[in-house]
Structure 1
Amino acid sequence: MSQSELDELTEHINSKLSKVKNLIHLRDIGNDPEKQKIFSRIAEEVIGLAPMLKQFEIRVAEERASLKRLQELHALVEEDLQDAIHMSENVPRNLPLPATAAREEQKENEAPSVKEQPAVAGPKKSRKPIKEMEFITVHEFDAIPAYMKGRVTYDQLNSAVRSFNKAVTEKYKILHQPPRSLNNHSRKLYDRFKENETGETKGHFFVVEADLREFGEVTMDKRFLNLLSMLRHCQRIKELRGGRIIRYQLL
């Protein structure tokens, strides 16, 4: 037997002997009538503590349940806080107007007042107001698949919307003018716009790559083509192909 094993055995034996001594000492105390009275009072007090301990256990269980509910509430509040921080840090520069308000604003900006309308003889042909693409909402942007979105930001996508709207507006301003009132450059553009029209685009607003480059001031590179794909995914435009030309039609 090793020295460590011998020490452990000695410690175990001494522990047992100590307990036996304590029991003998308590037995001697128990035979004393005075000590028996003290033990009886202690026993009564211990018995009286049992209901108090039971109530204490109940209160502890209730507090644990309350703590669990508070932790769940804290998690919900923390989640709402993070959402609020995200929203405050990503407030869009251009918030889309409700459809009714947008139409009213468009009418106010585009329709001349009664005083400004020149007096003409006979009925005047009304022109369809130039349509503009609505800005992408945060919810729509978040719904775009990650593989398509890549590193494109919300502002970059809506910047493409602004460029697209600018190209549409400039193009149809020329188309809404009488051809005889146009200068040579605008007349050439007018003829090109007419050549790009098809039966499928009749009554709709659309642009081609040349319009986007000239009026939208964009570079038709892979990055911008990807932005157009995202606008198509968000159902803002659709592509019409024909005659080696891609037409981007507003929906």
Structure 2
Amino acid sequence: MVAEERLPTAEVNTVPVVNTATVEMHESKENAIICPVTLAEFELIPKYMRGRMALSELNDIVGKLDEFLTMKRNLLNTSFKKLSMKDKDQVSKWREQEPAPITGQLYCQEVDVKPFMKDRSKALFRTAMPCLRHVRRVREVRVKGKVYLLPGQ
């Protein structure tokens, strides 16, 4: 009987191993601000929400968001004196546009990210945002009619 009682605990111990594997998959890119969506998470997104979008297309959009946010973080963390005039103008613009509810947080807008995307990704961007909110990669903050995208937690 003692052996029978230990078997369920052994099964319970295997569950965290599976969870740790999925966590390790999220941390595959060490400095990623927004991690790619895994196949298991993609399958959790309702079919009506994702439509005909493929996992690779969703991860392309995640990659572009991550690329932009990484570039923005690097520019904001660099000394203002060391930036080129073009970068100084961009950083000044971001600081002026930053609304009070998200002051000090890393954010982007649809207008910022779309120039980095291909035509197909641009068309899927509006479909991808609810999917990314569903798997908590992105959260939206709406201030005065503008939508700000923040990395999820």
Alignment partner, residue 157 of structure 1: 58
Secondary structure of residue in 2 paired with 1:98: helix
- Is the alpha carbon distance of 1:228 and 1:177 closer, same or farther for their aligned partners in structure 2, counting shifts above 3 Å? same
Number of aligned residues? 131
Runs of 4+ residues deviating >3 angstroms: 99-103, 216-222
Within-5 A mapping of 1:23-102: 98=24
Within-5 A mapping of 1:163-178: 163-178=64-79
Distance 2:46 2:83 in 1: 45
Distance 1:137 1:189 in 2: 33
Secondary structure of residue in 1 paired with 2:139: strand
User: Could you tell me whether the CA contact under 8 Å between 1:163 and 1:218 is conserved in 2?
Assistant: no
Secondary structure of residue in 2 paired with 1:239: strand
Q: Which runs of 5+ in 2 are unaligned?
A: 1-20
Within-5 A mapping of 1:1-251: 98=24, 105-106=30-31, 132-214=33-115, 216-217=116-117, 221-251=122-152
Percent sequence identity over aligned pairs: 22
Cα shift at 1:191 = 1.0
Residues 1-40 of structure 1, C-alpha deviation per residue, up to 9 Å, x if partnerless?
Answer: xxxxxxxxxxxxxxxxxxxxxxxxxxxxxxxxxxxxxxxx
Cα shift at 1:181 = 2.0
**What is the TM-score of this pair, normalised by structure 1?**
0.46
Distance 1:179 1:140 in 2: 40
- Is the alpha carbon distance of 1:154 and 1:101 closer, same or farther for their aligned partners in structure 2, counting shifts above 3 Å? closer
Cα shift at 1:233 = 1.2
Distance 1:205 1:180 in 2: 21
Q: Please, what is the CA RMSD of the aligned residues? A: 2.7
- Is the alpha carbon distance of 1:178 and 1:96 closer, same or farther for their aligned partners in structure 2, counting shifts above 3 Å? farther
Cα shift at 1:99 = 7.9
**What is the TM-score of this pair, normalised by structure 2?**
0.72
Larger Rg: 1
User: Could you tell me whether the CA contact under 8 Å between 2:27 and 2:35 is conserved in 1?
Assistant: no
Distance 1:218 1:182 in 2: 28
Distance 1:100 1:153 in 2: 19
Cα shift at 1:202 = 3.0
User: Could you tell me whether the CA contact under 8 Å between 2:26 and 2:36 is conserved in 1?
Assistant: no
Cα shift at 1:244 = 3.5
Q: Which runs of 5+ in 1 are unaligned?
A: 1-94, 107-130
